[in-house]
Structure 1
Amino acid sequence: MKTGYVFAFLPLAFGVAKAQTGFSTDPLNAVFETKDTDRFWKAFDTMNNSKQNPFTDYIKNGSQGVKGFMEYRIINADSLYATVRKRKEDYLKSRNVLAGISQKERRIRAVYSALKYWYPQAKFPPIYFVYGRFNTGGTFSKNGIMIGTETLQNLEGMVGLVSHELIHFQQDIKGTDNLLKYTLSEGSADFISELVSGETNNSPFYTYGEVNSDKLCKEFVTALKKNDPIDWLYGTSKKDDRPNDLGYWMGYKISEAYFKKQPDKHKAVQNILNIQNPIVFLKESGFLDQYIKQYVQENNMSFEDFFKE
């Protein structure tokens, strides 16, 4: 099944999920929390008759999901109030979007069970459906997974979105902060998400990546050690017609190549979730070997020297 989903993951969030302990290891006990959406619509409905900011209460009494959505996203009650007033009609499109969530919840629990099969030590954090300012479809923090409900017009892609963020929650990727690490974090999350959910992200960057694979692989080899994600993640320089977030495609391809080469697939999943050294992982995948060999020849290097940090 092909599905497209939108999410936002900030580099600053690398590793924070590992700081939290105590979440269920049983997929059947995972929490789906929707009470924040009820609080939001209560505030929304009093907006025109209230002399004060009605969203103050939404934030004050919000769940850990709302609290996790504050930094970079909601910011504060005033910023939320301003956005809601400006985009009132857009918010209304999502008012009844969670009406069918129970059906998706069953499907998501099945995905959780699949992850449990592949990665027995997986933990299943709460999923919070919250309202923000149209700047995040989904993300995670040490407190759980947060879904920006205002970005949803239907529940298509919900399983893939939650699955992707669930994988981020399991990840503990170490190594130097650079483009390679960032792309592996995002692309490997897509790869394992597809493995456990059966849903493939058909976003434009995957189609573009396959069509332009040779050109992109040559370029990536020259940039992967730089701590600059432009043209690969979180925006482009507009130097060509590429879509945003090609790094997801590149990280997926590297992870896929690594997985295929490993005889023990369960061990491969564990290693992908816990990459200790991105440049060594790249070498073990073999995905970019022909482009690296061309690069080192042109720059009077040895193949082994390329993999030194």
Structure 2
Amino acid sequence: MKSSLVINRLAKYLVILILIASFLLVLFWLWQRQPKITKENSQNLTTPQTNQEEKAQEFIKNPKDNSILASNKVNIEGQADPDGYVAILASTDQAVVITTSDGQFSKEIELGQGLNLVEVISILPDFKQDKKQTLTLLVSGDKSQGAVFAGTVKSIFDTYLTITTPTGQKNLRSQKSTNIILPPAPKDQEEATSPSGIKAIRVGDYLIAEGEISSPDEMTTTKIEVLREDKPQNNKKLMVGRILVSPRQNLFSVKDITNSEITEFALFKNTQITKVDKEAKPQDLTKDANAIIIYHQDGDKNLVDLIYLLP
């Protein structure tokens, strides 16, 4: 009798062990079927981004991205493709410059007071657009703050903020001594009930942060300005194309060299027209002439800021 009880217990234990082993085998089989990223694939994924960043760093030599400048006038210097062109687009100014036989270029532009987003685009000798880099520059009489980061708040964790900038995500560390400048509180909200300091910053706010860069993507801040309206932007656009119709009543059409799209442009009182660095006139905008066009949109019109006629 006792022996039969022992056998029954052993049988139960054996069944339980078999079930546990089967369950573990199933888990191991499922784990084996999960996709894996090999070291080689991981390297292949990260290498192109690294190469692009290195290429961009070699493009613009001066001023450095995220610089604080004392003067509105600044020389944009760098190295692009030999015997090509470089277009410079800022909200307050624009220019096109020819590169030298070794690709060097330098052009002075005038920036506005405060934050400036400057886009620099290189153009190959065959008129195709090549490299592109955006500079975040702050014009201020005080250069003691070190550097500037600017962008939209993506996340907030305690005193640590992540913002999205033209060159990727940047991290901001706020200190007790950080001067945080907030926009005026709404009229229907009492100041006494409004949060202050970093607690008042929201996801989606636009921040202009000054401080010391501790790593390429991180800053210890001394000053943060919060914007919710009239956020800084650069609305200038670039096209390289062939003029299809000479201006009539200040309107003309251009066919994009890159994608063959046809766009109608309008000249206005501030339009600049140049030909090989010399001032030109609307009469020089002849049919089939190639041109670099910097423009902005105003309603349904594409207003031309600069036309650079190509040889």
TM over 0.5: same fold?
no
Higher strand share: 2
**TM-score w.r.t. structure 1 length?**
0.19
TM-score (norm 2): 0.19
- Structure with more helix by fraction: 1
